[in-house]
Structure 1
Amino acid sequence: MFRIPLVIALALAIAFGLGVVGSVWALRATVGFGAIALGPWTAFPAAQTIDADPYAKAHRARDGRLLFGGAEGLAFTAATDSDGRNLVRQCRYRIEGITPPARLWTLHAADREGNALAAGRPDLPEGLNAWSVLRRPDGSFVIDIASGAAPGNWLAIPEGRGAFLLVMTLLDTPTAGSSGVIDLAMPGIVRLGCADA
């Protein structure tokens, strides 16, 4: 008597569970369609516009983060260096080059969920921007990223192990609302060495 309703209830529970798990997996797998990759840096220009795909809108709703308008800015993230190796905290890195035109840019390290990493002490540089970075005569710059101090431009990351992201946000940039982003260049990320190597 209860066999058929039990089978139906079990089938519905499995279908509902698989639907929820599949949706969460899809949201974690991608921020959306239309990614632009410039070396190790990736940006999603449509993620913050009205033309965003459903996955980008779902990410925005789930994270509760305020995104920029079409011409306000563009956030690039890097999970690997220029050779395709994952960024890990036990290694030292160097960012070298120039950025696309922007009134201001910022750079910080984040965990895999996009939350900013604290360097461990309040007196360490956890972020850099276009106004505070030292530049070469040609306008290019070099930034060292490590848990230990480095001369010149230095971005501190916490000691330990584990992967991290670099987030470079271009603010008030003409490239955010332009299809010409693909022709631009972002600075390279080079691994200098690792503590366990």
Structure 2
Amino acid sequence: MLRLPALVLLTLAIAFGGGTWSAARMLKATSGFGSIDLGAWSAYPNLQTSAADPFARAHRAGDGRILLGRAEGLVFTARTDEDGFLLSGRCAYEISGATPPARFWTLRIADAGGAPVQSPPSYPDSLNSWTTLRRTDGTFSIRVNAAPEPGNWIRLDTSSAVTFVLTMVDTPTAASASMVDLDMPKISRIGCRDA
């Protein structure tokens, strides 16, 4: 007598639970459509605008972070190096080249979920356009690894996958229609520990 209602309740619980889980998983899997890929770097220029797709709006609402508007700046992320290998906290990298024009930019390391990877006190966990040493032609070279190095260096010593986040503030790049022509810094893997 109670078998049929119990089966109906079980079916509804599985359907609603599975639907909620799959929707939450898909929203965390992407920032929406309309990404611009420049080498290893990708950005979503419409993420904070009214032109954002429904998935990007839902992702933005669930994320709880304040994003830069298109006129304020642009955030580029890299999850792979130039050869297509996933970035790992057990590897050493060199980020070299130049950034598109911007009044100010920062480069930091984040974990797979987007949270900043913290370094111990007195070790740098980010660099910016004011503190980065440059060559005479305006290019730079930043080493990212666990061992301290002279020049531009960011400490990276974790066992998980990481993401490089390049935030450009007050840049004409954000309003540019031809972003595919921009030169972005190259990410080269130098070597990995335990490999």
Does TM, normalized by the shorter one, top 0.5? yes
TM-score, normalised relative to structure 1: 0.94
Q: CA separation in 2, counterparts of 1:8 and 1:20?
A: 18
Q: CA separation in 2, counterparts of 1:147 and 1:47?
A: 33
Alignment correspondent of 1:113: 113
Q: CA separation in 2, counterparts of 1:13 and 1:180?
A: 49
Q: CA separation in 1, counterparts of 2:39 and 2:191?
A: 20
Gaps of 5+ in 1: none
Q: What SS is found at the alignment partner of 2:101?
A: coil
Alignment correspondent of 1:145: 144
The CA deviation at 1:7 is 3.1
Are 1:45 and 2:30 counterparts?
A: no
The alignment of Structure 1 onto Structure 2 pairs a total of residues equal to: 195
Alignment correspondent of 1:66: 66
Are 1:192 and 2:190 counterparts?
A: yes
TM-score, normalised relative to structure 2: 0.95
Alignment correspondent of 1:84: 84
Q: CA separation in 1, counterparts of 2:106 and 2:158?
A: 24
Percent identity among equivalent residues? 51
Amino acid at match of 1:141: F
Are 1:177 and 2:175 counterparts?
A: yes
| CA deviations over 1:124-146 (Å, ceiling 9, x no partner) | 11111111101111111000001
The CA deviation at 1:50 is 1.6
Amino acid at match of 1:188: K
Q: CA separation in 1, counterparts of 2:181 and 2:72?
A: 19
Amino acid at match of 1:162: S
Q: What SS is found at the alignment partner of 1:143?
A: strand
Q: CA separation in 1, counterparts of 2:92 and 2:70?
A: 34
The CA deviation at 1:34 is 0.2
Alignment correspondent of 2:121: 122
Are 1:167 and 2:165 counterparts?
A: yes
Gaps of 5+ in 2: none
The CA deviation at 1:12 is 1.6
Q: CA separation in 2, counterparts of 1:127 and 1:143?
A: 10
| CA deviations over 1:23-70 (Å, ceiling 9, x no partner) | 012112211000111000011111111221121112212221000111
The CA deviation at 1:8 is 2.6
Q: CA separation in 2, counterparts of 1:130 and 1:122?
A: 21
Q: What SS is found at the alignment partner of 2:12?
A: helix
The CA deviation at 1:14 is 1.6
The CA deviation at 1:5 is 2.8
- The alignment yields a C-alpha RMSD, in angstroms, of 1.2
Q: CA separation in 1, counterparts of 2:161 and 2:90?
A: 9
Amino acid at match of 1:59: H
Q: CA separation in 2, counterparts of 1:20 and 1:49?
A: 26
The CA deviation at 1:168 is 0.2
| CA deviations over 1:84-127 (Å, ceiling 9, x no partner) | 111111111000101111111100001001111111x2111111
